[in-house]
Structure 1
């Protein structure tokens, strides 16, 4: 839903009917939203998301994942009416801010819920699937925009907004039949209900003894985290070893937007500013999201071979190189049509690399790195870091591309290459490898202060015994046993 909606906001900037309704006339007779309003509309949704993220940690802890998600879906169903009937940029801005509130709730609920119900072996696949959902939404939105770009009336932008009503009701029905998180139920002291959820999630042939062991593992991990850092307030995210974990998830998600995700979101508008016809710009945007979906699926295989850290570092390195080449292509004169198509092709390659690496990997990392008790709040803080970065980057991108502002065009690639380099330097020294680790093992690694580059090499057997916070070998293996039963083999 959010992928669909965000693409609408950014891509409608290239729709003539939208520009005529909400923009102003330029001296050459064409219509264009000012750079300030372009940034304002996109950032309005992000401001709403930040409000939703601030609320979701408290709401999910109090009411659980299911009730919070259904409440957000009901809210967004009502808020869609505002942008649908908007006739001015101010009305549209109000609608986007309000719609952003439930969007912000969806951003963390999905990832943390996936991490809660999955065994270790399946954890990376379901958390990174969130990125694929983003890409599917973006692809559908681009397809809709291709279909309406030829219209000259108000339905050119009202039809895309109306299609947002397609999503909430089917999703609400699915959520109503989904199980609640067993980790949340244990934190609420509802152990019998948590046992029933584990029974439902596992294969029918799993014995009661194995299910009870799984429940004990959840209880002991929860108790261990309580003993290390009592409480589940936002302040606890900045205490002890949780401070380092909060830094990692916040910066990892910030890197997504600083490394070019925001720039990529304006691709349709960028293609037009680079000199391509409107039809070709929309066609390339549609193709890029199809490529992104393929890249996300491919990342599932790559994670198994290379792990999270290696993929993240490799992705940043390749993206920095691609941005540099795009910047150099932007130095060619406007009459050089070959350079315009080269820029479009390079941006397609960039999106493939992004969706093979830091795009999906980020969702996996932000779900795995926080402690289970603070995961909902840690992910909310991380996503807010992303949103704050997006506000800054949206302002920069609109000014870099808008002909009435800086008008950098493809030369903006040099700027984003520099941000990729800074992100790469941080990841090299601060990003750990959580692949194959249970939540209990990660707790011990962070509590001992193991450096990021040594995370993957510490044997599991070294995390038991003295200094392991009283964690026994059986405790560390339990989640792996549960994972093996859950999918018959851990892999």
Structure 2
């Protein structure tokens, strides 16, 4: 377990040093520029589905035809309609690591996209509540496969200098889907026919369609290829996309040697791909504990109320008009994007611990003021108190985005070695889906029964988050994935890794010509 102020062991810094000294911008490198552009639909686009789903279900509660078609769902039934998405995800998580290891990043994303495509079609064509519930389950079953592999693929393909920024943009892409869903629902909510909710449901298949269409042009993870003894293809990909900068050839030689030696060492310590690795040894237990914590904290920081039950929150301060609710949801989605993307671009430049602490302390302060204003409105129906609640709902987003949105997947990709990365992020998804299932089912019931007093639970819980981050979260900024691989294992493992890299470099280097045809 971490101790306050403990410094984790970091590995051979040669690759990260070359990357940090490279003065060429990514957009000046044609191949790298193409890579980042293709990762938008293939990787970042996965979160469009998540954002679309949350925002659409949030908005549909203010769509009269949806409410009437499903017989004016009670708070517990409404919770089930939302929670079914997470239930599907929970049932998928145990299979994610095995499927990912067998199919690779690209094909697993493609398979997940086809599953979600089917789910969106079923949702749009739902004839009754049971069919709608089934469609929500199918959508939820597909999303963990896509999230785990898309976040990993982005981190494993990106050039080290931009890696943390690219993985930070992954969660920020959530807001694009949220805006499209909120805007579409605002445009259709006054329709008297069922197309008021069927059309937004149908549009949820668009992100999955993007992944299926663009993935053939996206390269596979070099680390997965090396793990499958396809090193020539991996080297070709690294040479094409990572050798355009200053000292590019030396960077690729070192990076490839680090990947090969690190994966070889990982195989020595983890022969079988089994869930028992969660408790295999102290360093691995610590990694999985951090994944569990991140999964719960990203969903139990009060954001679940805003993502799914804005109508109920606004009703507590006297905002009941459906059109006004739709406008506020759309406005907040736009605000989230306007703040989330710049924060995702800036946050990786700072130390991870400082950003997580700023995030948790900021959200705690916002929730305390929000709770006080809600209590004041409940006492005297003060319009100023209602406005204060609305203002602090908007203040909440930037603080949340600093840590749990911008850095969650950046941090997860960094703390797990390749062999356990899919499993680690899947474990985080297990926590996420459990937390969301609880939130989406319990939140509407709690808001209905005890109103603003429910916010006090989050005020107390976020204090727990602050303490946990301070005590347990290590610093990871400024190193490559291979340099971070044995950060918890100690100096001996780091030295062994460096010796293996040096031995690998002494071998005759692989030439980037004459390879088997590879999708690069």
Whether the TM-score (by the shorter chain) exceeds 0.5 is: yes
Q: Tell me the residue number matched to 1:452.
A: none
CA contact (8 A) 1:114 1:127 kept: yes
CA contact (8 A) 2:347 2:406 kept: no
> Is 1:271 aligned with 2:346?
no
Counterparts of 2:174 and 2:361, CA distance in 1: 23
Q: Secondary structure in 1 aligned to 2:455?
A: helix
Gaps of 5+ in 1: 24-31, 449-462, 480-491
Greater Cα shift, 269-278 or 178-187: 269-278
Give the paired residue count. Answer: 450
Deviation for aligned residue 1:88: 2.1
Give the direction of change, closer, same or farther, for the CA distance of 1:199–1:288 in structure 2 (3 Å limit): same
Deviation for aligned residue 1:54: 2.4
Q: Secondary structure in 1 aligned to 2:476?
A: coil
Q: Secondary structure in 2 aligned to 1:374?
A: helix
Give the direction of change, closer, same or farther, for the CA distance of 1:274–1:89 in structure 2 (3 Å limit): farther
> Is 1:217 aligned with 2:258?
yes
> Is 1:344 aligned with 2:382?
no
Q: Tell me the residue number matched to 1:228.
A: 269
Counterparts of 2:496 and 2:410, CA distance in 1: 28
Select the residue among 49, 59, 62 that pairs with 1:11: 59
Write the mapping of 1:136-175 to structure 2, written as runs, cut at 5 A.
136-175=176-215
Select the residue among 315, 325, 332 that pairs with 2:359: 315
Greater Cα shift, 9-18 or 133-142: 9-18
> Is 1:357 aligned with 2:403?
yes
Select the residue among 421, 433, 439 that pairs with 2:475: 433
Deviation for aligned residue 1:161: 0.7
CA contact (8 A) 1:22 1:87 kept: no
Deviation for aligned residue 1:3: 1.2
Select the residue among 40, 61, 65 that pairs with 2:105: 65
Give the direction of change, closer, same or farther, for the CA distance of 1:75–1:304 in structure 2 (3 Å limit): closer
Give the direction of change, closer, same or farther, for the CA distance of 1:292–1:219 in structure 2 (3 Å limit): same
Deviation for aligned residue 1:203: 4.1
Give the direction of change, closer, same or farther, for the CA distance of 1:301–1:87 in structure 2 (3 Å limit): closer
Select the residue among 485, 488, 492 that pairs with 1:443: 485
CA contact (8 A) 2:151 2:170 kept: yes
Give the direction of change, closer, same or farther, for the CA distance of 1:474–1:120 in structure 2 (3 Å limit): farther
Write the mapping of 1:167-186 to structure 2, written as runs, cut at 5 A.
167-186=207-226
Counterparts of 2:70 and 2:414, CA distance in 1: 43
Select the residue among 269, 293, 298 that pairs with 1:256: 298
> Is 1:370 aligned with 2:413?
no
Give the direction of change, closer, same or farther, for the CA distance of 1:370–1:207 in structure 2 (3 Å limit): closer
Q: Tell me the residue number matched to 1:456.
A: none
| C-alpha distance after superposition, 1:198-254 (max 9, x if no partner) | 122224577656534322211011112223343332221321111101111220121
CA contact (8 A) 1:69 1:106 kept: yes
| C-alpha distance after superposition, 1:242-286 (max 9, x if no partner) | 110111122012101111121121353222343212222222211
Q: Secondary structure in 1 aligned to 2:237?
A: helix
Q: Secondary structure in 2 aligned to 1:180?
A: coil
Deviation for aligned residue 1:61: 0.5
Counterparts of 2:107 and 2:493, CA distance in 1: 40
